[in-house]
């Protein structure tokens, strides 16, 4: 339902192979540095392993989540990068009343803070829970990963992808999907057979490969339909309904009042009294 | 490293033992994962299930301090199952060499042990020589006194059951590791072994490293692409530090620092220049006289002449050791007046930190040179002391960081990469080069003015680094490379080379004994030549595809990327593995193709000019049996000084040569748990830089310890609880992390628990915490004195109390 057609195959996308992630947090720090985000005051331990801060926020656009557990007596120590999924058809863009979000042709879903009114519809709508509120400010807006849009416009890669020595590959969505399929095919014993983000929310610009089952790691189960399509179902009917129902009601009203109109016209014709004379006689 | 970082991608099996590259060298995992994508197996052996272990195909748990048992078990496994690279072992190692008939090993001790002095007589372990003076050999490897048979006999005691009873490893895990790694004994397979402080920081640390080298030689993995014994260095330029001989007992280029009884240059050369009668042995240290003379010429310039022994008398001579723990000990006795700490933090970086902190207070003056204040620079106002009680005068000099100055940094792979200045130093901070230059200039001026006692070693130094405010680092680099002090004509085979006075020496084979050359560090000769600064090269071409990148920066020696590479070919010069040809002899052109060969001589088989591959040893063969280790020619398992277990292999509980400090305790009633220390990705060393960076403090804000679920249950500790950890030396408070990644070790049938902790925290900086080194002991390795940080005894209880 967007007015400009985007070729999703050509959008720049992340392939995050968590089987290659060592949980070094280079991506987390690179993001902070590039965006000049404040460090949060943290204490140990807020969740599994060494993960910190406890959640993403206005100051933390990406975070490595740790999983540290045992399965059939074997240790599982896994890491994955939570971040904005830069959906093909973003829910945030769809619900925003002032159009502060939009999906760029290059891939990132960007955000114009000059338009934001801080209503937080996007926070409700996002199935991944990404946009975060500026609780610390008197005039709060919403914040999230920018996809390093300014960097990729200059031909650079996002800060996190640049810092990562192992897990993150960055390129056209179709190429990233091909690479993901290739890895799944070549080493089926290494991977859980799924590419998270291929179809979730209708497809996103962040694709994950994992070894452990997705729900075991903590990935949210998200519908495969683009989120806007849910509301589009209803919204697209609005003009029709407006015209249809409104028009029908107007027609009925017109019909209902027609008898009165005809009666008054008849009365007027029969009385041969001018309205002013009629009044003098009352 | 014998190899280098990128070479890891060429491996078929990667054994990670006593190190944790995923956490401490994260970028190296790029190459490890490339190898794994191509089918390599990753094997991790560690007391904990670390971030490295999380990526491994095979993981085995190991009790801290029992690496020789584990590696000895693998050596035994390789020998018993015929997995060794037979031709390599026979031709390139000293397996065939015969040992003198007096040699013996019995119940934990080698022959000639002096119980009073606690030393061995190394001569009692010598080879048996023939009439010509060369070691006798039995190429069939059957002679009972051949190294091969002695090796087999020694490690036959390291069967899997015994090994696992010692190390606490599950037997099936040990066998899985042994099978996976020893499979690289085939000539067409390469196994690389990565190690770091888990291996070195032990009272038998040197023997731990020896065991890794022996295993790799048996498997034919030294000198090949994807192989090697590869140390992961812990600081960006510690390789540079060791290359330039910063320890008390070495000079630049791994020359030995003279002792008091090396009375003159002749005596020095006599003692430290190995000799051989075997024409096939290159015996490269036979060139020692050229290197020591060139070094003296670099230091004393025109003042150093043959008549005055090239100023050899000006070199300090040592008698007793001046290793770190000794320095602290003497400091504590008030025997040291002043100390300069450049990027070094003894208040928490060394063992037994309480002792070190007290010792600092005995100094008359202290100079610290760092980016920020450290625990050492504010030791006098640390928690629990009154500054009024300390009389040390402390000077803090602000140092420039590595991006604020120009120079080279040598990485673990021996690559010296030139770095540039990106920004001006902040505030008044200065480069180390500027600081040392100022120290020297002012001290020299004082000596010149006031004479003093024996000032010549300083006043006669040749110190020519330009007249600018900042010394010219290029002049330093050029001096390190070395130059000709007079016009020279050198005939090298069929080439006649002309050099002018002042020309850079192109490579160390042209260094001279007669004073006609200088070189500040012979192994770096070739790094800065008439063709310019080789270390600054950035050509990313890789003609062999093996990741050698021969034109990217410069590595020592002579830009040879993989050392001992003559062992990667058969005696005829054909690569053992044609799929990864590191070097190959071209018989038509009569030269080697590929990496810089480890000597240009023809293959070993060539009667006239062939040479053995291990060119740095007098006998030219890799030593499965060592001749110069103080505590034995074969590594033998002894228990760490503080241990919960009796030595199951012999009557000798600990390394018999190690002197035990007073504050060591094996009282397992008081301290029933094994303690070990390590590092993390998020902080570095003593946290002098990282614990004041908010983005890193956000990741790891508090000092913590890791314990198993069973230990937590036993002590009633939950994740996030404050706990107190104690040893004979001290006590610390930390937050507990309860995890299944630490498990109790099954030591000879008994479960023994561990407490693991990072040592990054201290009382200075944005993020503060108690220092793990308050707990560790200074007891150290018999050969190097490196402290046994990795294995000690401790106890833990719920409820904290700050140190």
| CATH code for residues B673-798 | 2.40.40.20
Distance CA B522, CA B254 (A): 9
The residue whose two tokens read 């089987």 is A19
Q: How confident is the model at residue A274 (pLDDT cuts 50, 70, 90)?
A: low
B50 closest CA partner among B675, B674, B679, B640: B679
Distance, in Å, from the CA atom of B234 to the CA atom of B194, rounded to the nearest integer, reads: 13
Question: A41: which chain B residues are within 8 Å (Cβ-Cβ)?
Answer: 698, 701
From B25's Cα to the closest Cα of chain A, the distance in A is: 10
Nearest residue in chain B measured CA to CA from A163: B27
Nearest CB to B741 within list A40, A53, A75: A75
Structure tokens at B159: 């069967």
Q: Can you tell me the distance from the alpha carbon of B313 to that of B456, in angstroms, rounded to the nearest whole number? A: 10
How far is A54 from A46, CA to CA, in rounded Å? 5
Q: What is the pLDDT of residue A1?
A: 44
Distance CA B395, CA B378 (A): 10
A273 pLDDT tier (thresholds 50, 70, 90):
low
Inter-chain CB proximity B27 and A38 less than 8 Å: no
Distance CA(B742)–CA(B744), nearest Å, equals 7
- Residue A275 pLDDT greater than 70, yes or no: no
Chain segment B687-696, per-residue pLDDT in tens: 998 999 999 9
**Coil vs helix vs strand at B312:** helix
CB atoms within 10 A of CB A139: 6
Q: Which of A173, A170, A175, A172 is nearest to A156 (CA)?
A: A170
**Mean per-residue pLDDT, B647-651:** 97
Q: What is the pLDDT of residues B301-319, one digit of tens each?
A: 999 999 999 999 999 999 9
Lookup: tokens for B40: 């390599």
Q: Is residue B229 within 8 Å of B212, Cβ to Cβ? A: yes
Across the beta sheet with B365-370, what order do the strands follow?
Answer: B338-342, B365-370, B393-398
Q: Which band of pLDDT confidence, cut at 50, 70 and 90, is reported for residue A281?
A: low
Residue A279 pLDDT greater than 60, yes or no: no
Please give the CATH topology (third level) of the domain spanning B324-459: Rossmann fold (3.40.50)
Question: What gap in Å lies between CA A63 and CA A141, rounded to an integer?
Answer: 21
Residue A142 near chain B (CB below 8 Å): no
Q: Residue A80 has what DSSP assignment?
A: E
Average pLDDT over residues A52-76: 96
Which tokens go with B700?
Answer: 């790891």
Q: Chain B: give the shortest CA distance to residue A49, in Å.
A: 8
List chain A residues with CB under 8 Å of B30: 165-166
Residue B656 contacts residue B631 (beta carbons within 8 Å)? yes
- What is the DSSP track for B48-91? B--TTGGG-SEEE---TT-HHHHHHHHHHHHHHTT-S-HHHHHH
> In this model, does residue B706 exceed pLDDT 70?
yes
| Residues of chain B above pLDDT 70, percent | 100
What is residue B753's DSSP assignment?
-
In this structure, are residues B521 and B480 in contact, taking their beta carbons and an 8 Å threshold?
yes
Burial string for B17-35 (b: 16+ CB within 10 Å, else e) reads bbbbbbbbbbebbbbbbbb
Supply φ then ψ for residue B426, to 5 degrees: -75, 140
Helix (H, G, I), strand (E, B) or coil at A36: coil
Per-domain boundaries in chain B:
5-231, 324-459, 673-798
| ipTM for the predicted complex | 0.94
% of chain B residues with pLDDT over 90: 98
Output the average pLDDT for chain B.
Answer: 97
Q: For the residues B374-391, what does the mean pLDDT come to? A: 97
CA atoms within 13 A on the CB side of B647: 21
B5-231: CATH, from 3.40.50.80, 3.40.50.720, 3.40.228.10, 3.20.20.80? 3.40.228.10
Whole-angstrom CA distances from A22 to A146, A159, A163 are: 24, 17, 13
Q: Which residue matches tokens 């983005």?
A: B695
Q: What is the pLDDT at residue A5?
A: 86
**A184 in contact with B, Cβ within 8 Å:** no
**Residue in A42, A45, A77 closest to B51 by CB:** A77
Nearest-CA residue of chain A relative to B173? A74
The confidence score (pLDDT) of residue B800 equals 78
Residue B495 tokens read as: 């080439």
Q: Give the SS3 label for residue B481.
A: helix
Q: What pLDDT sits at residue B801?
A: 74
Convert the pLDDT of each residue in B485-530 to its tens digit.
Answer: 999 999 998 899 999 999 999 999 999 999 999 999 999 999 999 9
Per the CB < 8 A criterion, the answer to whether B120 and B630 are in contact is yes
Same fold, B5-231 and B673-798: no
**Contact status, residue B548 vs residue B595, Cβ threshold 8 Å:** yes
A190 contacts A145 by C-beta, under 8 angstroms: no
Q: Which of A22, A26, A44 sits opposite B702 (nearest CB)?
A: A44
Task: Find the mean pLDDT for residues B705-733.
Answer: 97
CB contact under 8 A, B29 and A28: no
- Answer whether B673's CB lies under 8 Å from B796's CB: yes
Question: Which residues of chain B are within 8 Å of residue A25 when distances are taken between CB atoms?
Answer: 681-682, 699
Structure confidence at residue B468 (pLDDT): 87
User: Would strands A63-71 and A74-82 be described as parallel, antiparallel, or unpaired?
Assistant: antiparallel
Averaged pLDDT for residues B772-798 = 97
Q: What is the DSSP string of B618-666?
A: TTSSB-SS-SS-TT-SS------SS-SS--SS-S--S-TTPPPPTT---
Q: What integer pLDDT is reported at residue A235 of this predicted model?
A: 76
Confidence (pLDDT) at B321: 87
With a cut of 70, say whether residue A282 has pLDDT above it.
Answer: no
Inter-chain CB pairs, A–B, below 8 Å: 98
Quick one: B221 exposed, middle or buried, by C-beta within 10 A (0-12, 13-18, 19+)? buried
d(CA B97, CA B88): 14
Q: Are the Cβ atoms of A24 and B696 closer than 8 angstroms?
A: no
Q: Tokens for A18?
A: 């968590």
Instruction: Give mean pLDDT, residues B666-671.
Output: 95
Beta strand A109-111 with A101-103 is: antiparallel
Q: Are B168 and B746 in contact (CB under 8 A)?
A: yes
**More reliable by pLDDT, B756 or B321:** B756
Rounded Cα distance, B67 and B626, in Å: 18
Question: Considering only CB atoms, which residues of chain B are within 8 Å of chain A?
Answer: 22-23, 26-27, 29-30, 33, 49-55, 59, 680-682, 694-702, 704, 719-720, 735, 737, 739-741
Instruction: Report the C-alpha gap between B175 and B633 in whole angstroms.
Output: 26
What is the pLDDT averaged over residues A28-37? 98
Please give the C-alpha separations between residue B719 and each of B706, B715, B774, in angstroms, as whole numbers.
9, 12, 23
**Chain-chain contact of B737 with A26 (C-beta, under 8 angstroms):** no
Q: Hey, are the CB atoms on B720 and A26 less than 8 Å from each other?
A: no
A13 touches chain B (CB under 8 A): no
Backbone angles phi, psi at B757, to 5 degrees: -155, 145
CB atoms within 10 A of CB B260: 10
- The rounded distance, in Å, linking the Cα atoms of B650 and A197 is 59
User: What is the Cα–Cα distance from B200 to B65, expressed in whole angstroms?
Assistant: 10
Summarize pLDDT for B129-170 with one digit per residue, the tens: 999 999 999 999 999 999 999 999 999 999 999 999 999 999
The per-residue pLDDT for B574 is 97
Give the C-alpha distances (Å, rounded to integers) separating B796 from A61, B746, B759: 38, 19, 17
Cα four-point dihedral sign B492, B498, B499, B505: negative
Q: Which of B794, B748, B729, B767 is nearest to B356 (CA)?
A: B729
Q: CB–CB of B793/B726 below 8 Å?
A: no
CB B447 within 8 A of CB B458: yes
Pairwise CB contact (< 8 Å): B23 & A69: no
Total residues belonging to chain A:
282
**pLDDT recorded at residue B211:** 98
d(CA A68, CA A79): 9
Beta bridge partners of B256: B250
Q: Given its phi and psi angles, is residue B517 left (phi above 0), alpha (psi -120 to 50 degrees) or beta?
A: beta
**Distance in angstroms (rounded) separating the CA atoms of residues B192 and B175:** 18
A165 and B30 in contact by Cβ < 8 A?
Answer: yes
**Longest CA span, chain B:** 79
- List the single best residue of A28, A75, A79, A80 to mutate versus B (max B Cβ within 10 A): A75
Please give the sequence-ordered ranges of beta strands (E in DSSP) within B71-170, or none if there are none.
105-106, 109-110
Task: Give yes or no for A242 touching B (CB within 8 A).
Answer: no
């Amino acid at each position: 339902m967007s007015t400009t057609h985007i070729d999703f195959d050509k959008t720049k996308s992340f392939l995050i192979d968590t089987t290659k992630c060592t949980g070094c947090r280079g991506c987390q720090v690179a993001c902070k540095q590039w965006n000049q985000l404040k460090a949060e005051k943290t204490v140990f331990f807020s969740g599994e392993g060494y993960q910190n801060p406890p959640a993403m926020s206005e100051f933390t656009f990406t975070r490595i989540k740790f999983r540290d557990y045992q399965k059939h007596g074997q240790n599982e120590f896994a890491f994955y990068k939570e971040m904005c999924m830069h959906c093909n058809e973003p829910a945030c863009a769809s619900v925003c009343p002032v159009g502060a979000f939009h999906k760029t042709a290059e891939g990132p879903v960007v955000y114009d803070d000059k338009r934001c009114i801080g209503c937080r519809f996007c926070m409700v709508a996002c199935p991944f829970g990404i946009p975060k509120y500026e609780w610390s400010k008197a005039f709060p807006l919403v914040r999230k990963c920018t996809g390093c849009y300014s960097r990729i416009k200059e031909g650079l890669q996002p800060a996190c992808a640049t810092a990562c020595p192992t897990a993150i590959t960055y390129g056209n969505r179709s190429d990233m999907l091909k690479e993901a399929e290739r890895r799944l095919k070549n080493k089926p014993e290494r991977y859980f057979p799924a590419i998270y983000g291929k179809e979730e929310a209708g497809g996103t610009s962040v694709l994950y490969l994992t070894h452990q089952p997705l729900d075991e790691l903590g990935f949210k189960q998200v519908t495969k339909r683009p989120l806007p399509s849910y509301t589009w179902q209803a919204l697209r009917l609005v003009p029709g309904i407006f015209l249809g129902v409104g028009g029908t009601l107007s027609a009925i009203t017109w019909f209902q009042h027609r008898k009165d109109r005809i009666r008054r016209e008849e009365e007027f014709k029969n009385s041969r009294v001018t309205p002013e004379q009629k009044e003098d006689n009352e | 490293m014998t190899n280098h970082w990128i070479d890891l991608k060429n491996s078929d099996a990667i054994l990670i033992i006593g190190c944790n590259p995923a956490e401490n060298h994260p970028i190296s995992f790029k190459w490890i994962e490339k190898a794994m994508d191509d089918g390599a197996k990753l094997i991790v052996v560690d007391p904990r299930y670390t971030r490295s272990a999380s990526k491994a195909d095979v993981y085995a748990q190991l009790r801290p301090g029992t690496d020789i048992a584990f590696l000895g078990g693998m050596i035994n496994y390789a020998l018993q199952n015929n997995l060794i690279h037979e031709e390599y072992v026979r031709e390139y190692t000293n397996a065939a060499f015969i040992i003198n008939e007096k040699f013996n090993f019995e119940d934990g001790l080698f022959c000639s042990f002096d119980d009073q002095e606690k030393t061995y007589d190394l001569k009692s372990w010598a080879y048996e020589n023939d009439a010509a003076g060369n070691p006798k050999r039995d190429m069939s490897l059957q002679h009972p006194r051949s190294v091969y048979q002695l090796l087999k006999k020694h490690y036959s005691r390291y069967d899997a059951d015994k090994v696992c009873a010692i190390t606490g490893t599950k037997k099936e895990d040990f066998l899985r590791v042994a099978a996976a790694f020893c499979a690289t004994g085939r000539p067409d397979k390469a196994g690389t072994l990565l190690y770091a402080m888990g291996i070195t920081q032990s009272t038998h640390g040197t023997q731990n490293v020896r065991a890794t080298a022996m295993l790799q030689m048996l498997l034919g993995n030294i000198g090949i692409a994807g192989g090697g014994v590869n140390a992961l260095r812990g600081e960006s330029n510690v390789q540079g530090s060791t290359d330039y001989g910063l320890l008390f007992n070495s000079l630049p280029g791994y020359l030995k620092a003279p002792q008091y009884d090396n009375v003159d240059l002749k005596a020095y050369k006599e003692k430290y220049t190995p000799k051989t009668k075997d024409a096939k042995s290159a015996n490269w240290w036979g060139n020692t006289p050229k290197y020591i003379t060139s070094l003296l010429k670099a230091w004393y310039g025109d003042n150093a002449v043959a008549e005055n022994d090239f100023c050899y008398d000006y070199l300090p001579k040592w008698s007793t050791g001046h290793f770190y723990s000794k320095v602290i000990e003497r400091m504590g006795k008030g025997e040291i007046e002043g100390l300069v700490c450049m990027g070094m933090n003894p208040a928490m970086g060394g063992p037994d930190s309480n002792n070190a902190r007290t010792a600092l207070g005995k100094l008359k003056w202290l100079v610290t040179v760092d980016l920020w204040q450290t625990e050492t620079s504010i030791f006098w106002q640390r928690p629990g002391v009154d500054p009024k009680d300390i009389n040390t005068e402390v000077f803090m000099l602000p140092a420039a960081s590595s991006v604020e100055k120009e120079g080279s940094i040598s990485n673990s792979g021996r690559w010296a990469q030139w770095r540039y200045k990106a920004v001006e130093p902040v505030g008044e901070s200065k480069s180390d080069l500027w600081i040392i230059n100022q120290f020297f200039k002012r001290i020299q001026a004082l000596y010149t003015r006031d004479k003093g006692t024996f000032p010549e070693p300083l006043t006669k130094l040749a110190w020519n680094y330009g007249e600018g405010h900042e010394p010219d680092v290029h002049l330093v680099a050029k001096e390190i490379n070395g130059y000709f002090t007079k016009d020279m004509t050198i005939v090298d085979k069929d080439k006649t080379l002309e050099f002018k006075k002042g020309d850079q020496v192109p490579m160390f084979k042209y260094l001279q004994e007669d004073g006609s050359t200088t070189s500040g560090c012979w192994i770096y000769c070739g790094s800065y030549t008439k063709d310019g600064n080789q270390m600054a090269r950035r050509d990313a071409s890789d003609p062999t595809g093996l990741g050698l990148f021969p034109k990217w920066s410069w590595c020592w020696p002579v830009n040879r990327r993989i050392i001992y590479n003559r062992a990667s070919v058969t005696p005829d010069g054909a690569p053992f593995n044609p799929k990864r040809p590191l070097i190959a002899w071209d018989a038509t052109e009569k030269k080697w193709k590929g990496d810089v060969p480890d000597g240009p001589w023809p293959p070993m088989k060539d009667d006239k000019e062939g040479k053995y591959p291990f060119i740095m040893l007098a006998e030219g063969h890799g030593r499965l049996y060592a001749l110069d280790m103080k505590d034995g020619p074969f590594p033998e398992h002894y228990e760490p000084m503080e241990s919960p277990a009796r030595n199951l292999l012999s009557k000798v509980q600990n390394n018999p040569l190690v002197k035990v400090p007073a504050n060591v305790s094996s009282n397992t009633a008081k301290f029933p748990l094994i303690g070990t220390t390590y590092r993390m990705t998020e902080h570095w060393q003593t946290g002098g830089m990282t614990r004041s960076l908010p983005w890193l403090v956000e990741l790891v804000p508090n000092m913590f310890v890791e314990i198993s679920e069973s230990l937590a249950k036993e002590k009633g500790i939950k994740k996030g609880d404050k706990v107190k950890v104690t040893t004979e030396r001290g006590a610390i408070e930390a937050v507990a992390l309860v995890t299944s990644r630490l498990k109790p070790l099954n030591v000879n049938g008994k479960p023994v628990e561990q407490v693991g902790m990072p040592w990054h925290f201290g009382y200075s900086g944005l993020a503060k915490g108690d220092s793990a080194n308050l707990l560790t002991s200074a007891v150290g390795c018999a050969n190097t004195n490196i402290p046994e940080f990795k294995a000690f005894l401790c106890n833990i209880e719920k409820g904290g109390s700050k140190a």
